[in-house]
Each structure stands twice: as C-alpha cells, then as structure tokens.
Structure 1
Amino acid sequence: MASLETGPGRGTAVVIGGGLAGTLAAWALRGAAERIVVVERDRYPDGPEFRAGLPQGRHPHLLLEAGHRVLEELMPGTQEELRAAGAVRVALSGDLRWLSAAGWMAEYPAALAFYSCTRPVLDSVVLERVRTEPSIEFLEGTEAVGLTGSAAAVTGVRVRERGHGADRSAVRELPAELVVGASGRTSAMADWLRELGCPPPAEERVDAGVVYATRVFRRPADAPTDWSALYLQCKAPDTPYLGVLLPIEGDRWIVSVGGMRGGEPAPGEAGFARQLELLRDTRMREALAGAEPLGAVRGFVPGPGVRRHYEQRAPEGLVVVGDAACTFNPVYGQGISVAALEAAELRRAALRHGGIGPATARAARRAVAAVSKNAWAMSAAEDVRFAATTGGPSGALLRAQHRFLDRVLAGAASDPRVTAVFHEVMSLVAPPTALFRPSVLSAVLRSG
C-alpha cells in the first residue's frame, strides 16, 4: 500500500471509540491528518487484560484470513507479534473440525488459517502499534456526547470526561475536518445526527435472537490430537444449538455454547452443561469432560444485526466504521475482519484524495458499504432460516439461494474442492460468486 507519511497532511481527525475498529481507523489516517484524536470512554488496562467497556471481549473472536491479510498489510509484523503473545495458528482444515448443517467438512491441505487468541491479546497488539505513531493521541476516560456542525457537514465532536453526568459545563468541543464513528453496537450516532437536523441513515435489520455462554478451560493433557478447534453449527430449522471451541494463549481453550431464539442457554454452569448436551455431536462434551474450568460461565446477548447505510445519507466530514456501521450475528465470526477491511479502505481513500477532506469521507463511506455487503448478505440469509428470526431478507430469490447453499454444503461434506472454495468465501478472501466456478459448480450439482 502506498504511503502518506511524507505528505503534508491536513487538519484534525477525531475517532470516536478506541476499540479495534477505532484504533485501526486511527492508524489508517496517519500521515493524512496532522493530528488524530481517539476518544475512548474506558481507560486501557496495562497489557492484554479484559476491560469493562468491551463486554463481548470475554467471548471468542475470530480474525478471518482476510482480516489477517489486511492487518499485516496495514501493520507489517502483526502475525509474528500475535504468535509471540501466545496466539495459536489454526488451519481451516485439519486443525479445525467444522460440522455444517450437511455434516463434517471434507479435509484438505489448507493454506487458509486464523490465529486464535483472546480478544485482549489481539487488541493489545494493535494498540501498542498505534501508540508508536506520534500524530495519534488518546483521550482515555472521555466520552463523546454529540457532534458539532450542521445537517450538511460535521465539524467536530463534543466530549466530556466520564463521571460528570449531565454537567453541561464539562462539555468541550474538538474541532475536526474528519470524524470517524467507531463506538460499536451502542453507537448514538443516529441520535446525534437528528440533533443536527440530519435524518438518520436507512437501516436493514435482522434478529435471530442468538444468546451464548462462554467459559475458559485449561487444555487437558489427554486432549485430542486430530484437531485443535471445533465449530458445531446450528441446523435449521429444528436444531438451533451451536458450539465453538478454540485454543488460546496459555495452553487454554475458550468455549462458547449458544443458540438462536428458542434455543438459548440457561444461565450459569447448569445451563452451560445442558447446552453442551444439546449439541449435534458429542466431541465437544467429551473433550471437556477432563478439562479444568478456569473462571465463571459468562453469558452474552449481542442483540440484532443492523446494517446502516451511511453511504446513502450522511453529512460531509463523517465516516462510520465497525459495529457502529454494521453489526453481524457474531456466530459467523465476521465483525472484526470487516472492521479491518474498512480501515484499509479508509486508508486507500485518504491516499487517493491526498488527505482527510470531503472527497475522502465520501469515498470511504462508499467503500465501507461495499466491504460489508457480502458479509451482511451471507449472515442475514443464514439467520432467516430460523422461524423465530425477525426481519431480514425474504422471497423467491432467497429460497433459491438457500437451496443452492444446501447443495454447496452437501458437496463440502464429501468433496475437498468444494470445501476449499467455501472456506475462501467464508474467510472473506473470495466473493460468494466463487462458488459458481465451473469446477466447484459441477461438484455441487453432483452432490444433489
């Protein structure tokens, strides 16, 4: 990727939210802005520790192959840093055993992989790199409370230190040529735009009612050697239960069990154990029988998936990324990879337009929408397979897509060629149209 670091730069960019999407966005703007300010409600812990402002941080996260590639492009050497921090490389075939609705995926020599670790390890590797950039500063313990400007253009962010409640005198303004919203699922951006007289963006919404519970275990000495990770998917419409087991730093496993609406786990250890029994295969339960639990069972209700179309309607000077722009059902593991891809597009827009002016923001908004399109279409289409899901796509085209994907999964259960391309699509390194390659299509048609 080309560099702006020797360019003149221009103005100030303010990034709202210092999670993974926000820190990557800040890094992407280095050299394009003279000053980059990251506004973060929390205070960061020392090192890779969990923090209260990231409630989903105690649950499994996947940076897919596409995410790793773009992260390495943005921050060369991060894969080595993740390995040094204890992340475990998991090949998508061989190391990972994946039970789809049609059966176990056929195995093949896979180049595609991901590095499995806790979310704090990934965040810490990225944050420490971002802290090396002198043009980026962090306002920790500070919350954004609104925007400045008008319905036509955003000119800055209103902020205050946490703990001052509704004290208006504590609010100050941060002028900016570019504002990047990266405050996650709970983003108040729509309300702030209304305050400026700007209608909020159009939304797509789908809610499968997913709930899951997570626990960390010490990996037992007699753990299976023919796999290092398990993914047991739901099988619509009558088996809404899922489970994932991933290796993490410290010779541990992080394990989540959950379900779509109607198949949610009950709270606590009893609910966790019961959910294990409901899974379609016994391997996870058997592997955990001799594993020592480390800490409590923690539940999480992520809420609906929402895609907000800021590319259609937004004031000048505003870009929204990460979960603030598009939230997915987390069982598909797409969110942080899409955030990384969006950061790369933000950088490309800044390079193309030579700074952080309105043309950069417009180009970035379009690119963010394009990056999330396929991932959203895949996750929303899967969510609506379950009868209790609300919202989402429908119609004859969707039913045809479901029939075709059923054939793909049947093919992937027996033909490694189909599995390999399916993995490329799910890893976001190839578009869904890759499933129509002649060699794949012929195998898929034979599977039916």
Structure 2
Amino acid sequence: MTSSERAPGRGTAVVIGGGLAGMAAAWALRGFAERIVVVERDRYPAGPEFRAGVPQGRHAHLVLEAGHRLLEEMMPGIRQQLAAAGARRVSVSDVKWLCSAGWLAEYPAQMSFLSCTRPLLDSFVLDRLRAHPAIELLEGTDAVGLLGSATAVTGVKVRERGRERGEVREIPAELVVDAAGRSTSVPKWLTELGCPPVPEERVDAGVSYASRIFHRPAGADLGDRAVYIQTKAPDAPRLGVLLPVEGDRWIVSLAGMRGAEPAAGEEGFTEHLGLLRDPLLHEVLRDAEPAGEVRGFHPGPGVRRHYERSCPDGLVVVGDAASTFNPVYGQGVTVALFCARELRRTAKRHGGIGHPTARAARRAVATASKVPWMISCAEDARFRATTGAPAGALIELQHRFFDKVLAGSTRDPAVTKAFHEVMSLVEPPSLLFRPSVLASVLRG
C-alpha cells in the first residue's frame, strides 16, 4: 500500500527505545498504526535475563497497584503468566513499612501486587510484542536523529549499533514516540531541527542505589512479605527495600540521598545495611546466602519535560524520556504504563496516529505525570542537599499535613488504607481530605 492509499492518520509509527515504556507504547498503538517499528539499541536476551540497556533493571522494582491493574487491562492474562513463572503475590498489608512516623498499621487490605525481577516482567511483555504481526522489533540499532523540521517530525534516522561510520537509514513515520529513557537524545535532536529548548524542571536529591539478590532461607519467618524501611528527613536519609521474587529469592535495594550514598561493593552494602533506622533488614539477611554480587546505580536527577508546551507535530514523548522521578517512590514503571494508556485513548478518540492524536497525547501524558511528580518533588524537598526542589509556605504546609497523615497511618487502618491508595496511584491525593480520613488525621 502506498502512502497515498493509506487511511488518514494511519501508516507507520516508530518507537525509539524498546524498554518497558517503549514496548507498552508500541502495544498501545496496535490497531491504529499499520506498522509499528521499535528501535532498540540492545539485542533482547532469549529469556528473562538482565541486559545492559536497562541498568536500573538489577534493582528492586515495585509496579504499583494502579500499574498492575493497567497492565492486566492492556494484556489480559499477564498476571497469571507472571504468577505461574514464580512472581510472588504480596498484599499491601503484608508490606512491613516503616514510614517517618513509625510502622504503618496493619489491616486486611484488598490491594496486592505481583513482585518479581524486572527481566521477568519485561520478558512477558516482549513475548506479546513478538507475536503481533504489526510490530517490528529492530534490535541492535541506534536511533541517531530525527527527520522533519521545527514544525513537524516525520521520521527517524537509524544505524546499526557499533558502526559509527555505517550507513544511516531513514524510516519515515506518521508518528514518532520517544521512549529512550533518561539518556534520550531527542531534546538535542529537536534543537538541531531548529526547535526552541523544551521547558523542563529538575530536582536532584542525589540518590544512589546498591542492590543484591539473596536466596531466601527455608522456613524464613518473613515468608512472602516485603519490607520498606523509609527515610526520615533530614536526619535519616537512608532506606532499604526487600521484595520476594521468583526462584525463592529476595531482591534487596539500599539507597541514600546525597551525602549518605552507599559505598561500593559488599563492604559498602553491609555498612549501609547497618546504618538503616531499624535493624530488621540486617537481621533478616543474616542467614541469607547471596545469589549474586552487589550492583550500584546512580540514576541522576528527576526531570520533567513539558512537551505539551513546546513540541513539533508528529512527536510524543513517554516514560522516563518525559518524566523521571526519584526511584525511591516506585512510580516510574506505573507512570510509563499511564503514558501508554493515554496514547491508546487519544489514538482511539482521533481514529489514528495523525497530528491531532500526538497533540492530545502530549497533553494527556503531562496530566498523567503531574501527581507523581508533585509527590516525588515535595518529598525530595525535605532533604537539605536536594537541588532544584520547590520551596515556600505551600510546600511547608504540604509537609505538615502529610506528616499528620503518616502519623495517622501508624494507628488508624482507615488512614493507612487511604495512604496506600494514594501512594499506589489508585486514588488522587484529594482522598486524604475526605471527611472520614481527614477527621482521624486532624484528631491526631
């Protein structure tokens, strides 16, 4: 079919980046684009294995309840597949959560999540894409530039990875989706096309990670429960997370804000473990055998790019390429899925992948990331060494109210439930102001 014979607003969509955000975006476009090309610089492993292109993949990933619901809606049956492969079902009431005010109150929660390593999750999503006839996975390929002008992006320039002087090919497209993550080059390429700089916000708490996988000891008291020892600003800027994952293992991630980063290697991991606010993780891991080496990760600043304000037609930016958050709040994967949902909704509303879809999708993606960004920035602002954080009377008022919510969540299950729903992105923060919740918070 020639371009002149195609239905208006259909044709080719190119997705830059084949991580979870890119795969979800490609899946969202099925049925609206005749051809969907995913440009991925890595070559995918044969199974659920760690890969260099996802450096954060070796660390604990928590897909929030809202993300799991959306993933199941997008790919029916994937929860069952993950569970059959060993992903562990964890009720939110089975998370031993030490917030800044103390341990959260326990209650019989209805919400739960499947806990697994990032490669296991990615592999089942990838299997769906591989089976779809309209989706083409262009592996081992670098995107090296954009086609078009300052008014409209019309395609992508690509080249075989590792061949810096190799042939550059052009893939014309009706829609280009940037899902290249934190290291995206799209802002630079837009400047080369003559576009003004994309407006952005930057907040940097200087967080660094150290993670390790352990074999779970037989008969361990913790079982399939998870542990989250949160920071307490400004005096205790360290945290620890333990999640049960497939293969009867635990994945443990330790983190610290600027000035309290975990030192490298096994010695640094052990030292950081002993500096947490509570000794629970240290005690739990005393008899656990490591299943791998300690891996470090420095994600860099949180960045929110406002493409809804300034962007040529034909381009949508999703996932970490649009908004990156401090990973300690566990929002990244869920927000990437939100982006895919909005992309599909707008394509459905406009009947294809033309420019009206791209414009509407940019606005919808910005709206979907607004609350997670607000939560992340406000909490990062509590740490003295954070740069770029919001300040002023409004933030101080927000901190005081949230402190009351946390205090209430340690004693009143109704407040704990509301707190879980807001932090899981199932409900908006306005839930905390409903009379039944607010009364208990204010009484405290």
Please tell me the TM-score bracket, short chain as reference.
over 0.9
Q: Which residue of 2 aligns with 1:119?
A: 118
Structure 2: distance between partners of 1:9 and 1:358: 8
Structure 1 residues 176-234: Cα deviation after superposition (integer angstroms, max 9, x where no partner): 00000000000011100001000121111100011110010000124124761100000
Q: Which residue of 2 aligns with 1:61?
A: 61
Letter in 2 for 1:338: V
1:361-376 maps to which residues of 2 (within 5 A)? 361-376=358-373
Q: Percent identity?
A: 69
1:300 has 2:300 as partner: no
Match of 2:433 among 426, 432, 436: 436
1:179 has 2:176 as partner: yes
Q: Which residue of 2 aligns with 1:3?
A: none
3-state SS, counterpart of residue 144 of structure 2: strand
Q: Which residue of 1 aligns with 2:266?
A: 269
Structure 1 residues 3-57: Cα deviation after superposition (integer angstroms, max 9, x where no partner): xxxx997210000000000001000000101100000000000010111111111
Q: Which residue of 2 aligns with 1:34?
A: 34
Unpaired segments ≥5 residues, structure 1: 1-6
Q: How many residues align?
A: 438
Q: Which residue of 2 aligns with 1:339?
A: 336
1:230 has 2:227 as partner: yes
Structure 2: distance between partners of 1:16 and 1:338: 18
1:357 has 2:354 as partner: yes
Q: Which residue of 2 aligns with 1:73?
A: 73
Assess if the C-alpha contact under 8 Å between 1:100 and 1:409 holds in 2.
yes
Assess if the C-alpha contact under 8 Å between 1:9 and 1:31 holds in 2.
no
Structure 2: distance between partners of 1:310 and 1:155: 17
Assess if the C-alpha contact under 8 Å between 2:90 and 2:224 holds in 1.
no
Q: Which residue of 2 aligns with 1:4?
A: none
Structure 1 residues 111-134: Cα deviation after superposition (integer angstroms, max 9, x where no partner): 111111000000001110111210
Letter in 1 for 2:271: R
Structure 2: distance between partners of 1:198 and 1:410: 48
Q: Which residue of 1 aligns with 2:213?
A: 216
Structure 1: distance between partners of 2:392 and 2:108: 38
Structure 2: distance between partners of 1:18 and 1:437: 41
Structure 1: distance between partners of 2:88 and 2:403: 31
Structure 2: distance between partners of 1:387 and 1:112: 34
Letter in 2 for 1:126: V
Letter in 2 for 1:89: R
3-state SS, counterpart of residue 212 of structure 1: strand
Structure 1 residues 416-439: Cα deviation after superposition (integer angstroms, max 9, x where no partner): 000000000000010111100100
Q: Which residue of 2 aligns with 1:189?
A: 186
Letter in 1 for 2:84: A
Q: Which residue of 1 aligns with 2:158?
A: 159
1:44 has 2:34 as partner: no
1:252 has 2:243 as partner: no
Q: Which residue of 1 aligns with 2:99?
A: 100
Q: Which residue of 1 aligns with 2:375?
A: 378
1:446 has 2:443 as partner: yes
Q: Which residue of 1 aligns with 2:14?
A: 14
3-state SS, counterpart of residue 295 of structure 1: coil
Q: Which residue of 1 aligns with 2:128?
A: 129
Assess if the C-alpha contact under 8 Å between 1:97 and 1:227 holds in 2.
no
Structure 1: distance between partners of 2:224 and 2:153: 51
Sort the Cα spacing of 1:206 and 1:436 in 2 relative to 1 into closer, same or farther, 3 A. same
Sort the Cα spacing of 1:308 and 1:410 in 2 relative to 1 into closer, same or farther, 3 A. same
Assess if the C-alpha contact under 8 Å between 1:152 and 1:316 holds in 2.
yes
Assess if the C-alpha contact under 8 Å between 1:91 and 1:111 holds in 2.
yes
3-state SS, counterpart of residue 164 of structure 1: coil
Assess if the C-alpha contact under 8 Å between 1:96 and 1:227 holds in 2.
no
Structure 2: distance between partners of 1:269 and 1:147: 43
Letter in 1 for 2:275: L
1:313 has 2:310 as partner: yes
Letter in 1 for 2:422: V
The 4+ residue runs of structure 1 with deviation greater than 4 A are none
Assess if the C-alpha contact under 8 Å between 1:8 and 1:31 holds in 2.
no
1:84 has 2:84 as partner: yes
Structure 1 residues 284-322: Cα deviation after superposition (integer angstroms, max 9, x where no partner): 100000000111111110110000000110000000000
Q: Which residue of 1 aligns with 2:397?
A: 400
